[in-house]
Each structure stands twice: as C-alpha cells, then as structure tokens.
C-alpha cells in the first residue's frame, strides 16, 4: 500500500512538471518533443525518489533514469529498457493507462535473476513514468515460509500417523497387558516427538521475528552453562553420557533465556549423538575481545559435505538415525538465529568417527564509562 502511494506521488509530481512545461511550449507539445527544461525538472524529481524510477518513451528509449533504476538493471547500457520492462511500458502506452506486472530481469555481469514489480504510468503521449520495486527478498521469504509449512506438516505427519495406528492396535490388544504397555510406551515416544517439534517450531518463529535482542542485559555465561547442564542432566544420564564443564568468567549483553536455549540445543545434540559412557565437554572462556562457548563430543561426527548444511532448518545429517533418537532438525537453526541476534557467529568442526565441536563466539560486554 505504501508503495502505491509513492508511485502515485511520483506520477503527480513528474506529470505536473511535464504538463506545466509543455503547456508553456505549445508548438513543442504538438511535436511531442520534451524540452530541456522539462527533462531537467524531471531529472531533479527522479533523482530525489528513494526507489527505482525512470521516464521512457513508448518505444522503450529511456529519457532519464535515476541511479536506483540503473543499479536494478531496468535498462541496458545503450539506454533502452530491458525486454520485460519494455513490454509493460508498451502495454501502458497502447492503452493510455497505468499498467503493472511482476517480471523477472537479469542484473549484473553474472545475470543474477531478480523479481521486480514494475508500474508504467503515462504522463504524455511521448513519455511514461516507470517505477519498480525489487521483490526478490519478499518472494524468497514467501517461498521459505511455504517450504517451512510443508516441512512442518511432513514432520508432524509421521508421528501422528503412527499414533493413529497404535491407537487401533491398542484397542485390539486390550486384553493383553504386555501389549498394552508396549503400545503405551511407543505412543508416549511419538507424543514426545510431536511436543518437541511444536516447541522447537515456536522457538524458531520467535528468534526469526527479530534480528536483534529487544532488551539486552548483562548475561553471565557461567550461569547460562549451569542452566543448560541442569536442564539436560536427566537426559544425559538416561543416555549414559557425562557432561563436564570448564567455565571461566565471561559476560555478554543479551537475553539469558535465548542464550540458554541455544546452548541447550548444542548440548542436547552432543548427548544425542554420543555413545554410552561418552563425555560431552562444555566450556566458556574469553579470547581477545570475544566470549567463546564450545560444546565438544566424541560422537559419530558429521561429514564435510553435511557440515555446510547443518544450520539449515530440518536438515539432518543422518535422517533415519535422527528421527529414531528424537531429533527435529530445528535445533541448530535456532542456535544460528540466536547467535546472530547477539552479534556473534557459530561454527562447526567435525570428523566422522572422531566427534564434533560447536563453537559460539559473542562480543564481550563493554565496560561502562564512569
């Protein structure tokens, strides 16, 4: 809606300038030749616009384009509109009314494909105002949302389908106490999977909603480590894994709850993919002007190829094994977003059969001047 107001405003301003100048030069208007004064006034207005805009002739020749229009790739190096944009201009000129369309154009030497919304507005019989908006990021976001919804539906389908089958089996085995217990345990496992997926989805939606921490406060990473280890103590014990900590003093500015959630995901992954009687080591230390959190395990490890994708949503290095162990494929994506919110970075080192180290680096809290 705001974009259309900008288009209309630009059309009124540029159209007014063109109309007034042409009105003062009747003989030139009859020949449909823009005067130097018109072009200069048009340039001034278009240059001031904060979005791609240009004035073109019906045949696609560009009379003037601002820098944003050139950068977006609306015209060629010879001063002619690129074909998709020219088609919109031709349609507007032929109908003598505004036309708009979503088009794809190639930008730059590498020919990067860009999704652009283009509007062409007739000003005079010989001039049209063309405005554009790069919708590439919006289109990508929409595609990502659709993909996310599909993935969530797919992930929920398996445990819900399993529950439905087990309810039928449970009903059929109502007179067999051993079978009832077996199916009840399996149903509890599937319910846990659904609960975990829903919780992780909510967490991911929350951290994706903002690029920064809303109300950052001093956070002692020692307390964050304590929170994570305490929350996963029973889980680690049930897996026969020992969690060890080596924590030094390190304070950052951020959200303690979010940082603890991110660290819990790292530690949970380390425990989940470790063998019995294994150790997971969690450390917090200072390196130069950064606070560094590390989670090390001697588990199954991750291949180099998979390391490039571990922070993607729903990616699992070993999909079947991850599902069996209860992984949702969202934990590391949550970690990535939380760390970015705090102005930091997360990295992975791993070797199959040796283990994995996840390292988070965060800016230390600056000391306040007295």
| Domain range list for the chain | 2-134, 136-209, 212-370
CATH hierarchy code of domain 136-209:
1.10.287.130
pTM: 0.53
**Predicted local confidence at residue 108, as pLDDT:** 62
Lowest mean pLDDT among 235-239, 270-274, 317-321, 343-347: 317-321
Highest mean pLDDT among 20-29, 225-234, 327-336: 225-234
CATH 3.40.50.300, domain 212-370, yes or no: no
Range 78-102 average pLDDT:
93
Average pLDDT of 191-211?
70
Q: How far is residue 187's CA from residue 59's CA, in Å, rounded to a whole number?
A: 68
Strands (E), the chain: 53-56, 62-65, 99-107, 112-124, 127-134, 217-220, 242-247, 251-254, 279-287, 290-297, 345-351, 355-363
Higher pLDDT, 202 or 88: 88
Please write the tens of the pLDDT for every residue from 110-121. 667 888 899 998
12-16, 105-109, 214-218, 282-286 — which is least confidently predicted? Answer: 12-16
pLDDT of residue 12 exceeding 70, the answer is: no
What per-residue confidence (pLDDT) applies to 361?
Answer: 96
Same fold, 136-209 and 212-370: no
pLDDT tens, residue by residue, 270-291: 998 888 889 999 999 999 889 9
CATH of domain 2-134: 3.30.450.20
Which tens digits make up the pLDDT trace of 298-329?
988 999 989 988 888 777 666 544 555 556 67
DSSP state letters, 270-320: HHHTSPTT-EEEEEEEEETTEEEEEEEE-SS---HHHHTTTTSTT--SSHH
Query: Is the predicted pLDDT of residue 2 greater than 90, yes or no?
Result: no
Query: CA-CA distance, 60 to 82, in Å (whole number)?
Result: 8
Q: Are the C-beta atoms of 67 and 83 separated by less than 8 Å?
A: no
Percent of the chain topping pLDDT 70: 72
């Amino acid at each position: 809606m705001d974009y259309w107001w900008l288009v209309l405003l630009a059309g009124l301003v540029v159209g007014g300038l063109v109309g007034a100048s042409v009105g003062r030069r009747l003989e030139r208007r009859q020949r449909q030749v823009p005067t130097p004064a018109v072009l200069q006034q048009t340039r001034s207005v278009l240059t001031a616009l904060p979005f791609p805009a240009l004035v073109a002739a019906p045949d696609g020749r560009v009379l003037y384009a601002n820098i944003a229009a050139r950068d977006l790739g609306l015209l060629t190096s010879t001063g002619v509109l690129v074909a998709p944009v020219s088609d919109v201009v031709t349609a507007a000129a032929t109908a003598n009314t505004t036309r708009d369309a979503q088009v794809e154009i190639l930008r730059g030497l590498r020919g990067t494909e860009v999704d652009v919304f283009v509007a062409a507005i007739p000003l005079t019989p010989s001039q049209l105002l063309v405005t554009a908006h790069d919708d590439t990021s919006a289109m990508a976001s929409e595609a990502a949302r659709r993909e996310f919804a599909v993935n969530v539906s797919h992930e929920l389908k398996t445990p819900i389908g399993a529950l439905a089958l087990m309810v039928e089996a449970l009903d059929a085995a109502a007179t067999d106490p051993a079978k009832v217990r077996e199916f009840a345990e399996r149903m509890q496992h599937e319910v846990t999977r659904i609960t975990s997926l829903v919780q992780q989805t909510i967490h991911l939606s929350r951290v994706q909603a903002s690029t920064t921490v809303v109300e950052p406060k001093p956070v002692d990473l020692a307390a964050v480590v304590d929170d994570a280890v305490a929350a996963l103590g029973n889980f680690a014990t049930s897996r026969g894994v020992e969690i060890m900590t080596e924590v030094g003093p390190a304070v950052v500015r951020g959200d303690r709850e979010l940082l603890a959630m991110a660290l819990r995901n790292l530690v949970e992954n380390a425990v989940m993919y470790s063998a019995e009687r294994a150790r997971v080591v969690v450390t917090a230390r200072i390196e130069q002007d950064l606070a560094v959190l590390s989670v090390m395990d001697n588990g199954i490890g991750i291949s180099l190829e998979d390391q490039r994708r571990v922070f993607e949503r729903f990616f699992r290095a070993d999909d079947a094994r991850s599902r069996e162990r209860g992984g949702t494929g969202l934990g590391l994506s949550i970690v990535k977003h939380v760390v970015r919110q705090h102005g930091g970075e997360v990295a992975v080192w791993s070797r199959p059969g040796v283990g994995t180290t996840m390292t988070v680096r965060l800016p230390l809290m600056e000391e306040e001047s007295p």
